[in-house]
Amino acid sequence: MKKEQQHKLEIHPWGLLEREFQADDYPLNATLFSLGNGFIGLRGTFEEGFDPEPFSDGCYLNGVYASEPIRYGEAAYGYARNNQRMLTVPDGKGIQIWVDGERFNLAEGEILEYERHLDMANATLARSLTWRSPLGKTLRLKTQRQICLTEKHLVLIHVEITPLDFGGEIRLLTGLDGNLDQAERSDDPRLASPIDQGDIQWLNNVADGDYLALALSVRSSGYEIRCAATHRLQASAGHTMTNLRHENRVATEYRCVAQRGKPIGLTKYLAYFAEQRAEPIEVGSLRQYLELSANKSFAEYAKAQRIEMDKFWQESDIQVLGNDSLQQGIRFNLFHLFQSLGRDGRTNIAAKGLSGDGYDGHYFWDTEIYVLPFFLYTQPNMARHLLEYRHSILDAARARARELAISKGALFPWRTIGGEECSAYYPAGTAQFHINADIAYAVRHYSRVTGDTEFLRAKGAELVIEGARLWMEIGHFNPRRNNQFCINEVTGPDEYTALVDNNFYTNLMARAHLEYAAEVYQWLQSFDPEACLALAQRIELGPQEPMLWAKAAKAMYLPYDQSQGIHPQDDGFLDKPVWDFEQTPANHYPLLLHYHPLVIYRHQVCKQADVVLGLLLESSEFSIEQKRRDFDFYEPLTTHDSTLSACIHSIIASEVGYHEKALDYFQQVARMDLDNHHNNTQHGIHTACMGGTWMCMVQGFAGMRLHGTELSFAPFVPEGMEGYRFRLQFRGRTLEVDINYSNASYTLITGEPISLHHIHEPVFLAVGETQTFEIAPPVEVTQ
């Protein structure tokens, strides 16, 4: 169903290698070769630009947005009022090059040699090429770029030009370009919307020798953004320097005497700062910051970068034996997750990371359900920051609940940056109330995996409790269903079915949420009675509320169809005709771009895993046979038009014994962006699917599940790989899991002794100890 792409990048376990420049792939590769450090994100566009350039040059700062009113032709009470759109900030990557008056541009002239390399071990991007100009001058160009992982605000770019067969003049124009990109309006809801240029106020510009600075403010969001650069030129035969200065563009021009065979180098130290409604950052101090930064060379920063990356890979890598293509996909995905993740408790991870402005840079439930598990089991501090972000937007979520006539508690936004609900299409947005339960699930998961009671006491309990109160108001004990607790008029994860009663996933997750809220309340009462009292007073929590949560959880209605032995997705799902898949041409996928929502909604057709996702998240509630029946029923109805789907199908396929299928799905998941399976990676990576990659390996092939506070594994090695190995952080310990065709080994690398289960066998490990178990070859179950 998906368009298969021929990937032109070389397979390499530690990087992306482009050995031939493909102009058509420029926008796609601008995404794939993007870099980030959780705050700054730069698309992988060329320093010198590329004409014609149809796509955004993309410089982004995590959490920095412009707000604009959503204009409805026909509004109604309580619709989301404003959209928050991740801003494209001034582009500081630009360094244009002229050779004796001819502009260097890969769209012209002749490319004699070319290589671009995204090095995932070092987090650097490098290019090296030889180019002959239309008038026949040949030069060698090397560029290197890194966004510092140790210095949140700093980017380094180095270019080196060597005239191979001429002497003359090389002109370098390095700038900060505030000519912010305008996205075009489109019917595709996944793309970004245009910026209102009137919203931007230019505050300051400086072009003074090597030093450049631009400052702007965004009226609608109150953000002040400053960007500045300083340069170090390495030219042996003299140069002159001039500055150019416009309202929103500043540049330094170096005219250098070029000698045949002698390289000319320029290092650009580029910094971005952003604050919301803060005192303006002094331009002077920025200059100092950059001057200090420029005391160190590119190579010195590269060394520090390597140390950070070594730490990351040490904790977070998944090694796959015998399959470089999958290895590349896995590492690429983990690398981009690390690049994209906000690390300050006030920012999060966007659906497209910091690699593109698709979905306007919004944060979704993708974070808690798809991305968080990877960080939770590899770098739990990062996972905590994600949950702290949710706590930071709790007031906005409370205000939103009141707009929806919910008198107590909070309703989290379906999509947002700063906390306000930004979903203009409520049937596939605000109606996805399950986001509250997803966040609670993540808090529970985090608490069980880390044992971090301080977070739960200070923030987690409030998140869980405020979120749980919603269910008591949107659900009810239904006398027509034997007083079971029913929840009407919601949309589950599957966005091809909207506004239904008793969505299985929502009810299942709400049940777990309510149970957990009651448990957390009790825990807080005994763990820190004062904190519990203070919280109860602050949020006006009545003493009977936790009892009601437990009662509602117990009485939760979960749709079940006895005759087929499956869970209907909602009350009406089975009454609908099945979508006519046979008559649907391949180019009509994704359906959302070819059919009115009403056409889709009245059929049995799923965009993504819904019931099947519930089977994973509440795994211990269902038998293998039940999971198999549900999988068999939903899989043929699922288009996987969302990239959040294939990974979940892979995991459940692994569990129920459809090993080949599990691998087929995984191959798509692991290389979703590298092979551009959904044909939209040019607008940004798919971070949820990247998180899903880790889940497929660890929860799918290795069969890891968490029971209370104990881990179990049921591993197998799918055809097409020889084995795999990964590490996990679990309650202060580091555990290594190593699987091959015949053996599974578990080693406790650090920490207190641990007990876990290998299939049904209990395993007890002291530090430094390894236990190895024979594993039988996987038995393929026929579907």
Closest approach, Cβ 597 to ligand BGC, in A, equals 13
Under 8 Å between Cβ of 427 and 476: no
Whose Cβ is closer to ligand BGC: residue 272's or residue 365's? 365
Whose Cβ is closer to ligand BGC: residue 267's or residue 348's? 348
Under 8 Å between Cβ of 62 and 71: no
Stretch that binds ligand BGC, among 123-131, 244-252, 361-369, 630-638 (CB under 6 A): 361-369
Which residue of 608, 638, 650, 654 would you call a contact of ligand BGC, by CB under 6 A? Answer: 608
Where are the extended beta strands (E) located within 605-709? 705-707
Q: What is the DSSP letter of 569?
A: S
Binding flag, residue 493, ligand BGC (CB under 6 A): yes
Closest approach, Cβ 513 to ligand BGC, in A, equals 18
Residues 658-697 as x/- pattern, contact with ligand BGC by CB under 6 A: ------------------------------x---------
Closest approach, Cβ 38 to ligand BGC, in A, equals 19
For residue 265, give both structure tokens. Answer: 């180098």
Binding flag, residue 723, ligand BGC (CB under 6 A): no
Residues 441-480 as x/- pattern, contact with ligand BGC by CB under 6 A: ----------------------------------------
Whose Cβ is closer to ligand BGC: residue 154's or residue 500's? 500
Stretch that binds ligand BGC, among 136-144, 359-367, 567-575, 728-736 (CB under 6 A): 359-367
Question: Residue 437: which region, alpha, beta or left (left: phi > 0; alpha: psi -120 to 50)?
Answer: alpha
Binding flag, residue 506, ligand BGC (CB under 6 A): no
Stretch that binds ligand BGC, among 118-126, 178-186, 357-365, 562-570 (CB under 6 A): 357-365
Whose Cβ is closer to ligand BGC: residue 151's or residue 495's? 495
Phi, psi of 13 (to 5 degrees): -70, -20
For residue 422, give both structure tokens. Answer: 């930004």
Phi, psi of 782 (to 5 degrees): -85, 140
Where are the extended beta strands (E) located within 108-153? 110-119, 124-132, 138-147
Residues 81-110 as x/- pattern, contact with ligand BGC by CB under 6 A: ------------------------------
Closest CA to 705 of 510, 492, 452, 448: 448
Closest approach, Cβ 414 to ligand BGC, in A, equals 8
Closest approach, Cβ 766 to ligand BGC, in A, equals 42
Binding flag, residue 267, ligand BGC (CB under 6 A): no
* Orientation angle between helical segments 504-527 and 461-474, nearest 10 degrees: 130
Q: What is the DSSP letter of 229?
A: E
For residues 266 and 93, give the distance between their C-alpha atoms in angstroms, rounded to a whole number: 12
The answer to whether 495 is a known catalytic residue is yes
Closest approach, Cβ 639 to ligand BGC, in A, equals 11
Q: How many CA atoms lie within 13 A of 359 on its CB side?
A: 25
For residues 356 and 191, give the distance between their C-alpha atoms in angstroms, rounded to a whole number: 10
Q: What does the DSSP assignment read for 513-530? A: HHHHHHHHHHHHHHH-HH
Which residue of 99, 228, 532, 644 would you call a contact of ligand BGC, by CB under 6 A? Answer: 644
Closest CA to 367 of 688, 142, 666, 117: 688
Binding flag, residue 351, ligand BGC (CB under 6 A): yes
Closest approach, Cβ 607 to ligand BGC, in A, equals 6
What does each C-alpha distance from 168 to 259, 419, 653 come to in angstroms?
7, 56, 64
Under 8 Å between Cβ of 352 and 685: yes
Binding flag, residue 176, ligand BGC (CB under 6 A): no
Which residues are known to be catalytic? 495
Q: Which residues bind ligand BGC (CB under 6 A)?
A: 351, 359, 364-366, 493, 495, 607-608, 642, 644, 688
